[in-house]
Structure 1
């Protein structure tokens, strides 16, 4: 993430002050390089586990489990995280080299993937929370009207709304050539536009959805106390997903809001905070599959059955091949 607005004041000092400034600058650069190395390593881990884990969730929820409303929600959530992870290698390359050789189109698309993931994920979590409330408070109506087809319609609306809210990233992301290096950065028209985009992302992509989610969860907690439910696993998965989204995105939004008023804050602090916040936000894309595996009972059972059946099929094929080769060798000996 780029800091777009900053004014540097001319400052003249004596040799002693200049030497101390140079020393401080080298120390700052050293710590910045160390942080960059750590963030690159973390992003590579997010990339590997995000692609693998979300592919697994899409395969299990989309093809192996019975098609229900809740598996439809989770499949769409996994697709959102997977699409973000697909573009993450480009960002990792840019973090390592500080050079963007992929062109303007991919500059716009790769940077927009994070915000598309942010909007679609939180909107899907709103749908999941509201869906659980409807199931508990209106069980008869839910049984008659809650269908996979309607869930798919809701998902289409979520993706359209998410794409529209992601348009500012596509519009203001630009490439700039400086010598032999090409930079991919955000270039707003003015500070007021920058602030408007930041506030829109915070209000529409975090504050309002999160308040809706908290309201639904509060209603669920009140109702569930008076009910006897066989399994609370689905609600634990939902709660874990919501908490994960909150803790992954709060640092990012906090530093972006501080950036919009950067004259009152340290530039180094903002740059470090934005880098760490963006990495934590990216981490949300690979945490969800882990939650399904460790919390979701149905998911674990289907996964075990699928892996076991695959191993059995592979072993059966190997045994069949061995048996076939032995029969051929016996035939040759008889001849």
Structure 2
């Protein structure tokens, strides 16, 4: 079975080194523009790039320069930076998919894959941090009011980024460029260690998906129970944006992880199914980077009010409103100190 079809975007099987550097026997002709699925994914990827880059750049400008710096804006600014950097490198993957040949050299082969996984890990780690922050603020409002600072939030963001970078290093180690059947490809070379493919895939699945979601679910369960105890089940407004971000991340990244795990046992699955699944799963994962700024706009305030206001006002209100409303809720529920409130 020819495994070269898995070279789309950033995912494919390992290749034998001697096979990769064989002399080409014919000139490769790209077939992507003749296939409906490939053309559709190209169009979707271009839309993701345009909306994701512009949307996240707008979030960065508003949260970084137009709004008063707070813990809340620190979280969302970091998320937007991660998504914006990822979208900046999408044109390389789009070109690769259209030409079915890698023309950008070894460094960018490694770096574009590295950026994608830094984006994945940093996004989910920041969502975990925000969930824990909200949980602590609801459970211990007085302590949170006295100890939560912008400086500490910035340090936590930095640690999340460093951890994301560390877990993304395998992309630099195993990513390589080679020649196969008349074309240059950017591929994952796991031939140096027989178990490296499985180890990398499982680590990404558990560290970048399962473990973070367990923590997020626990945090939100505690928050919901606390709100019910204080008869505040209708006060869901402070958690709309965060809930939507978590749901979007789960929906966008789950197909990718499923097909990467299936790829580990590719002998037992249909080749075309895996190839199609990896292409669609990668496109859905990329879509997460443009969904986040959309959610900032349409989940923060009442939709009708935002629709009538300017784009800048809508985005600013979406990020700032969460802190204001939560502060009022916690102020009412604190029995220890009537003045105790905190921004989430």
TM-score by length of 1: 0.80
1:288 has 2:292 as partner: yes
**Match runs of 1:22-61 below 5 Å:** 33-61=35-63
Native 8 Å contact 1:60 1:303 kept in 2? no
Native 8 Å contact 2:62 2:312 kept in 1? no
Measured in 2, the distance between the counterparts of 1:199 and 1:106 equals 25
1:103 has 2:112 as partner: no
Native 8 Å contact 1:176 1:182 kept in 2? yes
Distance 1:302 1:73, change over 3 A: farther
In the TM superposition, residue 224 of structure 1 has moved relative to its aligned partner by: 1.5
RMSD of Structure 2 on Structure 1 (CA): 2.5
In the TM superposition, residue 192 of structure 1 has moved relative to its aligned partner by: 1.1
Q: Which segment drifts farther, 131-140 or 260-269?
A: 260-269
In the TM superposition, residue 60 of structure 1 has moved relative to its aligned partner by: 1.2
Structure 1 residue aligned with 2:87, among 82, 85, 88? 85
Deviation digits for residues 70-94 of structure 1 (CA, Å, limit 9, x no counterpart): 1100000000000100100000000
Distance 1:231 1:302, change over 3 A: farther
In the TM superposition, residue 302 of structure 1 has moved relative to its aligned partner by: 8.4
Measured in 2, the distance between the counterparts of 1:129 and 1:34 equals 40
SS across alignment from 2:177: strand
Native 8 Å contact 1:65 1:302 kept in 2? no
In the TM superposition, residue 129 of structure 1 has moved relative to its aligned partner by: 0.2
Unpaired stretches in structure 2, ≥5 consecutive residues: 1-9, 17-30, 316-344
1:192 aligns to what?
A: 195
1:146 has 2:148 as partner: yes
Structure 2 residue aligned with 1:4, among 7, 10, 13? 13
Structure 1 residue aligned with 2:278, among 263, 274, 278? 274
**Match runs of 1:1-335 below 5 Å:** 1-4=10-13, 33-178=35-180, 181-188=183-190, 189-227=192-230, 228=232, 232-297=236-301, 303-305=311-313
Deviation digits for residues 232-266 of structure 1 (CA, Å, limit 9, x no counterpart): 33301000000100000110000000001111111
Deviation digits for residues 246-291 of structure 1 (CA, Å, limit 9, x no counterpart): 0001100000000011111111111110110010000000000000
Q: Which segment drifts farther, 226-235 or 87-96?
A: 226-235
| Structure number having the greater helix percentage | 1
SS across alignment from 2:176: strand
Native 8 Å contact 1:60 1:302 kept in 2? no
Q: Where does structure 1 differ by over 6 angstroms across 4 or more consecutive aligned residues?
A: 29-32
TM-score by length of 2: 0.78
Q: Which segment drifts farther, 127-136 or 93-102?
A: 93-102
In the TM superposition, residue 304 of structure 1 has moved relative to its aligned partner by: 4.2
Unpaired stretches in structure 1, ≥5 consecutive residues: 8-28, 308-335
Measured in 1, the distance between the counterparts of 2:108 and 2:220 equals 38
